[in-house]
Amino acid sequence: MYGIADLDNCYCSCEKVFRPDLEGKPIVVLSNNDGCVVARSNEAKALGIKDGTPYYQLARQFGLPLTPVAHAKGQPIEVFSSNYELYGELTGRVVSIIRQEAPAYFRYSIDECFMYLPKSLEGDELQRWGEHLHHRVRREVGLPISIGMAPNKTLAKIASKLAKKFEVYRHCCMIDSDYKRERALEWCPVEDVWGIGRRYAARLQSLGCKTALDFARHHRDWVRQTFNNINIVRTWQELNGEDAVPNEALTTKKSICTSRSFNGMVSDKESLRTHVANYAARCAEKLRMQKTVASIVGVFVNTNPFREDLAQYWNFQEQRLITPTSSTLAIVQAAHEVVDRIFKQGYQYKKAGVIVMGITPDSPIQQDLFDTNAEEIQKMRRLDEAIDRINRMLGTETVVIGAQQYTQKDGKGKADVFSNAIKHDFRSKNPTTRWSDIMRLNASDERI
């Protein structure tokens, strides 16, 4: 049996952990640059707010400020910029509890974790195990979690939806018989099945499948011939009770991408190079974190596709490295070479990104046959290690390379590289990761 532990409205729930006054209020969390709604509390969903709504539209509809207003009272919706430092830390605590409770698990995303369930338990015992996990996470971290249990991952996901939806399950729903399976599939709209996206859902609906059960009852050959795709056949198999979707190969990533939309437009090459240097440096850091090196560095740039009145340009090119590396300096340099090739004067750029590919373990590295500079490489490694250590201890971007620094107009102040570039006007504090944000409670405080 598989289990899935899925945090309810993850980002919104994280915001509530240190703000109990938010309980019962509609909350939304915005994407980078305060662009779109990416998370909603139940109360916000009840107001009809849709995932992905641009914030300026929401602000217009509900009369919300475009930037924070001091002492705002009676605002109909609480708004937050995304605070990944907080979400990463709190969800990490949840995973450490799962590590203690489940025989084995693999993290699927920031807010979901698949688990293998204890073999020794069945029926009511398993149900109680799930409820215990829910309560422990709630008590020790303060986050609400729903648990689904079933013979495969697709059915476990459906079970977790039931657990969220109906209180009778006490946050933990188990599908362990054909009867329960069919009742669950009958309830589940086909577009809500894990593995069936917008396109497949539209086709299935046009073919008369409204619920997951309608789909499951078709013949396997019909599924294979209609879609000619192995993944959807596997989804069909799982709806019928088999265990068919492969478990995540817990290997290292095959590509790593860092990209951002700009806060405003960028038209000069120097600024673009600075942005790209930051994304490249971030990619190098991610490579080192998973102990890998990359042999290809790609860069893309594009203008704002929503501005149909402006000239449009999109380009992506790669630079191959002779020696695979995770060195910040080497990857930034390669990315800059690509920028020099694809930059065109006269456009208003809105977004850029760096992708590193050809990823392999960092030892042994295939050295360049003609490269006599092995000593240089060792020096660069030690430099990166030192920078990583300082940034881990004193906060990200305490040390950056020169190319990452945005020109400060006033010529002073710490180069807070990303915050200079990205809008996050509604960001909450980081009481679990920053000394300066530690909470103070007064004896009279209702939170005590």
**Contacts from 368-373 at CB under 8 Å and sequence distance 24+?**
368/322, 368/323, 371/322, 371/323
Task: Answer yes or no: are the C-beta atoms of 147 and 171 closer than 8 Å.
Answer: yes
Instruction: Give yes or no for residue 70 binding DNA (CB under 7 A).
Output: no
Q: How far apart are CA 338 and CA 317, in angstroms?
A: 6
Site size toward DNA, by CB under 7 A: 49
**CA 183 to chain centroid:** 32
Instruction: Give yes or no for residue 108 binding DNA (CB under 7 A).
Output: yes
Helices and strands per DSSP (H, E), number in the chain: 15, 13
DSSP assignment of 118-157 equals PTT--THHHHHHHHHHHHHHHHHT---EEEEEESSHHHHH
Residue 430: CB partners within 8 Å, gap ≥ 6? Answer: 83, 85, 86, 89, 437
Among 21, 24, 56, 314, binds DNA (CB under 7 A): 56
Among 17, 121, 257, 383, binds DNA (CB under 7 A): 257
Stretch that binds DNA, among 138-146, 300-308, 329-337, 393-401 (CB under 7 A): 300-308
Instruction: Give yes or no for residue 196 binding DNA (CB under 7 A).
Output: yes
CB of 12 to DNA, least distance (A): 13
CB of 6 to DNA, least distance (A): 8
Contact positions with DNA (CB under 7 A) in 132-191: 157
Set 89, 101, 112, 131: catalytic member: 112
Whether 270 is a known active-site residue: answer no
Q: Which is nearer to DNA, 207 or 386 (CB)?
A: 207
Stretch that binds DNA, among 115-123, 145-153, 167-175, 229-237 (CB under 7 A): 229-237
What φ, ψ does residue 318 adopt, rounded to 5°? -115, 160
Q: Which is nearer to DNA, 177 or 229 (CB)?
A: 229
Q: Which is nearer to DNA, 129 or 215 (CB)?
A: 215
Stretch that binds DNA, among 49-57, 127-135, 172-180, 389-397 (CB under 7 A): 49-57
Among 286, 381, 427, 429, binds DNA (CB under 7 A): 286
Q: Which helix or strand (DSSP H or E) is residue 295 part of? A: strand 292-303
CB of 171 to DNA, least distance (A): 17
Instruction: Give yes or no for residue 92 binding DNA (CB under 7 A).
Output: no
Task: Answer yes or no: are the C-beta atoms of 88 and 110 closer than 8 Å.
Answer: yes
Instruction: Give yes or no for residue 264 binding DNA (CB under 7 A).
Output: yes
Q: Which is nearer to DNA, 129 or 324 (CB)?
A: 324
Instruction: Give yes or no for residue 54 binding DNA (CB under 7 A).
Output: yes
CB of 259 to DNA, least distance (A): 3
Task: Answer yes or no: are the C-beta atoms of 155 and 111 closer than 8 Å.
Answer: no
Q: Which is nearer to DNA, 213 or 354 (CB)?
A: 354
Stretch that binds DNA, among 19-27, 125-133, 224-232, 373-381 (CB under 7 A): 224-232
Query: Looking at the DSSP assignment, which residues form a beta bridge with residue 113?
Result: 5, 107
Q: How far apart are CA 385 and CA 376, in angstroms?
A: 14
Contact positions with DNA (CB under 7 A) in 366-405: none
Q: Which is nearer to DNA, 169 or 194 (CB)?
A: 194
**CB-based burial, 358-388: b 16+ in 10 Å, e otherwise:** ebeebeeeeeeeeeeeeeebeebeeebeebb
The CA distances from residue 152 to 3, 117, 131, 148, in Å, are 8, 11, 20, 10
Among 8, 89, 101, 112, binds DNA (CB under 7 A): 112
Cβ burial, residue 256 (10 Å; 0-12/13-18/19+) = buried
Among 9, 32, 326, 404, binds DNA (CB under 7 A): 32
Instruction: Give yes or no for residue 107 binding DNA (CB under 7 A).
Output: no
Q: Which two tokens stand for residue 357?
A: 């590919």
Instruction: Give yes or no for residue 363 binding DNA (CB under 7 A).
Output: no
Instruction: Give yes or no for residue 52 binding DNA (CB under 7 A).
Output: yes
Residue 13: CB partners within 8 Å, gap ≥ 6? Answer: 7, 41, 143, 144
287, 283, 281, 255: which is closest to 361 by C-alpha?
287
Q: Which is nearer to DNA, 303 or 327 (CB)?
A: 303
Q: Which two tokens stand for residue 24?
A: 């019962």
Among 256, 266, 294, 403, binds DNA (CB under 7 A): 256
- What is the identity of the amino acid at 98? I
Query: Which residues are known catalytic residues?
Result: 112
Per CB under 7 A, residues contacting DNA are 31-33, 35-36, 38, 52, 54, 56, 66, 108-109, 111-112, 157, 193-201, 228-231, 249, 253-261, 264-265, 282, 286, 304, 306-307, 350-351, 353, 355
